[in-house]
């Protein structure tokens, strides 16, 4: 049986998924190549901590930065309906 993917289309939906304990996300841009990210909401509730699995880099970004392609492709993925909750990818928060 095929697993239904949960699409994340906005900062609000991202925050809701994080509040539910979801921290693994997949981006399917560039012809379906999958990029995985672990995301946590910073304790201030205004910034996101991100682990990019492709190169193990870490970022702490504001809502504005998360939507800016100069910082990350997460915002672009939300706008293009390409950001999904990935229950198969999880990294413990450091």
Q: Is residue 92 part of a domain?
A: no
For residue 79, being part of any structural domain is answered with yes
Q: Which two tokens stand for residue 84?
A: 């999904």
Look at the chain and report how many structural domains it folds into: 1
Q: Does any domain span residue 5?
A: no
d(CA 7, CA 25): 10
Arithmetic mean of pLDDT, 67-77: 95
Confidence of residue 88 (pLDDT cuts 50, 70, 90): confident
Residue with tokens 């946590």: 40
**What average pLDDT score do residues 77-91 get?**
87
- Does a structural domain hold residue 26? yes
pLDDT higher than threshold 80 for residue 2: no
Q: Tell me how far apart the alpha carbons of residues 66 and 53 are, in angstroms, rounded to a whole number.
A: 16
Which one, of 84, 62, 79, lies nearest residue 71 by Cα?
A: 62
* CB 78, CB 88: distance < 8 Å: no
Q: 34: domain range?
A: 11-85
Assigned domain for 81 exists: yes
Q: Is residue 19 part of a domain?
A: yes
Predicted confidence (pLDDT) at residue 68 exceeds the cutoff of 80: yes
In this predicted structure, what is the pLDDT of residue 29?
75
Tens of pLDDT, residues 19-55: 999 999 999 877 666 789 999 999 888 999 999 988 9
For 30, what's the count of Cα atoms within 13 Å in the CB-facing half-sphere? 6
Structural domain includes residue 54: yes
pTM: 0.88
DSSP state letter for 18: H
């Amino acid at each position: 049986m095929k697993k239904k993917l949960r699409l994340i289309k906005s900062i609000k939906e991202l925050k809701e998924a994080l509040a539910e304990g979801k921290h693994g996300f997949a981006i399917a841009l560039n012809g379906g190549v999958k990029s995985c990210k672990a995301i946590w909401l910073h304790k201030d509730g205004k910034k996101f901590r991100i682990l990019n699995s492709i190169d193990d880099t870490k970022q702490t970004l504001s809502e504005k930065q998360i939507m800016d392609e100069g910082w990350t492709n997460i915002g672009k993925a939300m706008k293009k309906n390409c950001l999904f909750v990935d229950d198969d990818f999880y990294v413990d928060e450091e």
